[in-house]
Amino acid sequence: MTPSPLLFISNGTAEDLIGARLAGLLDHKIRYSPLVGEGLPYAKLGNANRVGRVLSLPSGGFPFGSLENLKADLGTGLIGNSIGQWSDATRGARGAGAVVVVGDAYALMVGTVAARLNKRPLIHVQPLLSAQYLDGLGVRGALRELNALGANLPMPYELRLARGADAVFVRDAATQRYYQQRGVPARFTGSFAMDVLPAPERELDLSENRPVLALLPGSREDHRESLPVMLRAAALLPEVTPLVAWPHDWEAVTLPQGWTLNIQNDAEALAVGDGAGIPLLRGAFGAVARAADLAIGTSGTANEQLAGLGIPVIAFATRGPQYTEGFARRQGRLLGAALQVVEGNPAALAAQVRAVLDDRSRRGQAALAGLTRIGLAGALPLIAAEIERLAENKKNT
């Protein structure tokens, strides 16, 4: 008998990636409802069909990252299209074996309605919240980050919704304890971020015996501000081999004034300026991540993945939409000694790179913090087995 299709609901770039990787482990046809963007990782599966409309937001899915983000998203029809997505997801859950939510409290609300109206099992994969965001936050810190309150800790309504799910999976052991103390039987089975870290895609030319500095401008529009700063910082560091893990088309590259981009092929280009030539590599994030000795990043998941590999990460805030001052502070609490946030100018970044490379003890502390706070891979196969079990039980009832 053909297994029933499964509905995946996710709301963000990393969430789509995790959801698609999880869906690929399941022997089911997949329906997917991406609440932000097009859900491109699902489309690559071959057995997946999108349910409902596409909502492309200027903020990239961070409407509450700043007032400017919210205004821009509202101007593109955020409210009307979001309401429409609820009915899309509910329709997509009809006849599904289970509803799988990969995302935050909002995605869980949509998934809860879709699952309950269709009497389907509900699985929540929460890759965003971490109890470690509360480390050293305090009352003053919480007041300063009121716009991110629901991102720092689960709100009472999210815990109530999670108690109604058939299975809940969280990103680390500290969060499992936090949820369980509040009556949610959540499980930590491994790191989602490390599960979706790709294997090295190709061999890199690293013949020169110098530390490798990974530059991670990220998949959000922050790269237009952060990449030029990273390039100028790397040009001040002739003692390292800088490599940019570039996730966009070459047309999206923003260079410092006076620099040029020499495109060699679809996978590699060279940014030239200030006496330096710095490679930009497309489709090579896994290779760059594993070659790195140190990283400069303005990325969410990529920064966490490098930290999870034991690699120290240096970060600086941008004007957004994602890697704002508040986001940088939050990621600093999450990663502890694995992340150092400094002033966003080339000289400060170069000085920090040298300070980390010259201090073996500091590198050791960063590695330990990243490995313990992010955790090991292995979550998604266990979650896939639980989804199969719940879907099969529903079919037999």
Look-up of token digits 């719940």: 390
Pair 175, 254 in one domain: no
Domain range for 153 = 6-196+377-395
Pair 26, 13 in one domain: yes
- Residue pLDDT, tens place only, 107-137: 999 999 999 999 999 999 999 999 998 887 6
Pair 232, 363 in one domain: yes
Pair 21, 164 in one domain: yes
Long-range Cβ pairs for the range 116-120 (8 Å, 24+): 116/164, 117/90, 117/93, 118/90, 118/93, 118/94, 120/7, 120/93, 120/96, 120/394
Pair 62, 171 in one domain: yes
Pair 140, 251 in one domain: no
Pair 152, 269 in one domain: no
Pair 62, 157 in one domain: yes
> How confident is the model at residue 46, as a pLDDT?
87
pLDDT at 60 over 60: no
In 3D, which of 154, 167, 159 has the Cα closest to residue 121?
A: 167
What pLDDT band is residue 93 in, cutting at 50, 70 and 90? Answer: very high
Q: Is residue 206 part of a domain?
A: no
Pair 370, 383 in one domain: no
Q: What is the mean pLDDT of the chain?
A: 90
Q: The domain that contains 306 carries what CATH number? A: 3.40.50.2000
Q: Is residue 326 part of a domain?
A: yes
Pair 226, 268 in one domain: yes
Q: Is residue 49 part of a domain?
A: yes
The arrangement of strands across the sheet holding 48-50 comes to 48-50, 30-34, 6-10, 98-102, 122-126, 167-170
pLDDT at 63 over 90: no
Pair 220, 192 in one domain: no
Q: Is residue 207 part of a domain?
A: no
> How confident is the model at residue 103, as a pLDDT?
95
- Residue pLDDT, tens place only, 267-286: 999 999 999 999 999 999 99
How far is Cα 377 from Cα 383, in angstroms, rounded to an integer?
12
Q: How many domains does the chain contain in total? A: 2
Which phi-psi region, left, alpha or beta, contains residue 87 (left: φ > 0; alpha: ψ -120 to 50)? alpha
Q: Is residue 112 part of a domain?
A: yes
How far is Cα 74 from Cα 52, in angstroms, rounded to an integer?
20
> How confident is the model at residue 85, as a pLDDT?
81
Look-up of token digits 């996710």: 10
Q: What is the mean pLDDT of residues 214-231?
A: 96
What percentage of residues in the chain have a pLDDT greater than 70?
88
Q: Is residue 202 part of a domain?
A: no
Q: Is residue 321 part of a domain?
A: yes
> How confident is the model at residue 188, as a pLDDT?
97
Pair 363, 382 in one domain: no
Q: Is residue 61 part of a domain?
A: yes
pLDDT at 56 over 90: no
How far is Cα 30 from Cα 51, in angstroms, rounded to an integer?
10
